[in-house]
Amino acid sequence: MNTEEAMTIVKEKQKRRWLHQHPDYNKKDAYYLLPRDDQVVIVRLRTGHCRLKHHLYTKFHIGDSASCPCGTSPMTVQHFLQDCPTHQNLRAETWPADTPMRDKLYGPMESLRRTAAFIRASGVAV
């Protein structure tokens, strides 16, 4: 076995390990086609590593509570995208029909862009 063959085997092994460790990896994910600023918003919402109060308070003890300013629930990604009454009008303009979280965060390009636009229009930093 020469060095080139050995490198090929090592790379294949690393690739298989990476794919095993990232079972949700989807090469055709519209995320990769988004402009950078939309990618940042989407990945923060997908992972929950964001500046919404629930994450800041529970993870870093920043702020006085995890509650949303609306007072109805912890300020999570789920609450913000789906339920928060403060953003109900904007949500209805953005998504006239009920739209599941899965579509907002993992749907086609148009869905992801719409989600990023909703976040920007809300004025809330994620």
Chain residues that interact with Zn ion, rule: CB under 5 A = 68, 70, 84
Looking at the Cβ atoms of 45 and 68, the one nearer to Zn ion is: 68
CB 11 within 8 A of CB 92: no
Select from 50, 49, 121, 47 the least CA-distant residue to 86.
121
Identity of the residue, 44 or 113, whose beta carbon is nearer to Zn ion in the bound complex: 44
Task: Give me the least distance between CB of 126 and Zn ion, in Å please.
Answer: 14
CA atoms within 13 A on the CB side of 16: 6
In the bound complex, what is the minimum distance in angstroms from residue 70's beta carbon to Zn ion? 3
Separation of alpha carbons 13 and 32, rounded Å: 25
CB 33 within 8 A of CB 109: yes
Closest approach, Cβ 3 to Zn ion, in A, equals: 59
Nearer of residues 24 and 64 to Zn ion, judged by Cβ: 64
Residues 6+ away with beta carbon under 8 Å from 39: 31
Q: Which is nearer to Zn ion, 79 or 113 (CB)?
A: 79
Least distance in angstroms from the C-beta of 79 to Zn ion: 6
